[in-house]
Amino acid sequence: MKKLLILSAALFFTYQSVAQNVGIGTLTPNASALLDVSATDKGLLIPRMSKTQRTAIAAPANGLLVFQNAPDSIGFYYYNSGSWVWLQNASGAGSGWSTTGNAGTDTIVNFIGTLDNMPLILKSNGMKIGGVDAATTYNVSLGAGANNLKSAGLANVSIGAYSLSNHLNGNNNVAIGNVSMLYNKYGEHNIAIGGSAMPIDTCRLWQYSYWWRFTLL
C-alpha cells in the first residue's frame, strides 16, 4: 500500500512539473501561477514569527513574506531591496488618511505623526520644509532649511526659509522671516522678526531685532 501511494504521488508531481504549475484543491490551476491554491473553507497560512525572529532571517530573498505576531506592528511583512516592508493593517478601511481626502476618520486613532521619540518632518523635493521635534525638545520649524535638525536647543520657533538654520544649542528663540537668526548658534531668549533680522548674532542673550517694510498705495 505504501509503495502504491508513493508511486501515485510521484506520477502526480511528475505530471504537474511537466505542466509547469501546481494546483491544490483544483484540477485546472491557472496557467499564470506556479502554485494555484483553491478553497472555500480554508486559507493559506503564512509563517508566523516575532520581530526578533523576522529580523534574524539570514539573507532574505526579495519577495519573502512572513507574518509578525509580536511584539508590535503586527501584520504581514515582505522583503524588498535590503529592507522589510510592513503591509499595515487594512481593517477599518476608509478610516485612515488618504491623499485624495478623507471621511469618517477617527482623529483619536487616525493621525499623521510618529509613535516613538523622533521628530515629525515635512519635506518637499527631498528638502525639509517644516517639522515638530520630539516631546523632549519642543522645537517647531516651518520653511525650507528652517532650524538645524541636529540642534540640541529647546523650545525654539523658526518660521521662514533658513531661519535658525545654523542653530546648535540655544533655548527659547523666536525667528520669523527668511534667513532670520541665520547664524545664531548658542544665543537664547532672542526674538527676530522680518527677513534677514538678526542674521549674525551667535551667542547673545535677551536680544530682539525687527525689520519692517511698508508700501503705501
Is 166's pLDDT higher than 80? yes
Letter for the amino acid at 43? G
Is 204's pLDDT higher than 80? no
Average pLDDT, the chain: 81
Question: Between these two residues, 217 and 201, which has the higher pLDDT value?
Answer: 201
- Give CA–CA dist 153/93, Å, rounded: 40
Is 38's pLDDT higher than 60? yes
- Give CA–CA dist 143/176, Å, rounded: 10
Q: What is the pLDDT of residue 11?
A: 45
Is 20's pLDDT higher than 60? yes
Rg (CA), the chain: 29
Q: What is the DSSP string of 69-123?
A: EESSS-EEEEEETTEEEEE----STTSS--TT--SS--TTT--SS-SSS--EEEE
Q: Is the preceding peptide bond at 199 cis, omega within 30 degrees of 0? A: no
Question: Quick one: CA torsion of 189, 191, 197, 200, rounded to 10 degrees?
Answer: 0
Contacts 24+ apart (CB under 8 A), 121-125: 121/149
Chain-centroid distance of CA 8 in Å reads 51
Q: What is the pLDDT of residue 202?
A: 66
Is 7's pLDDT higher than 70? no
- Give CA–CA dist 34/17, Å, rounded: 10
Question: Between these two residues, 85 and 95, which has the higher pLDDT value?
Answer: 85
Pick from 26-40, 56-70, 136-150: least confident: 136-150
Question: Between these two residues, 127 and 98, which has the higher pLDDT value?
Answer: 127
Q: What is the pLDDT of residue 148?
A: 79
3 state SS of 62? coil
| Residue 168, CA atoms < 13 Å, CB-side half-sphere | 8
Q: How do residues 61-78 score in pLDDT, each as one tens digit?
A: 999 999 999 887 788 999
Question: Quick one: CA torsion of 50, 54, 55, 61, rounded to 10 degrees?
Answer: -170
**Global pTM value:** 0.53
Q: What is the pLDDT of residue 96?
A: 59
Is 18's pLDDT higher than 60? no
Is 215's pLDDT higher than 70? no
Is 146's pLDDT higher than 70? yes
Q: What is the pLDDT of residue 91?
A: 47
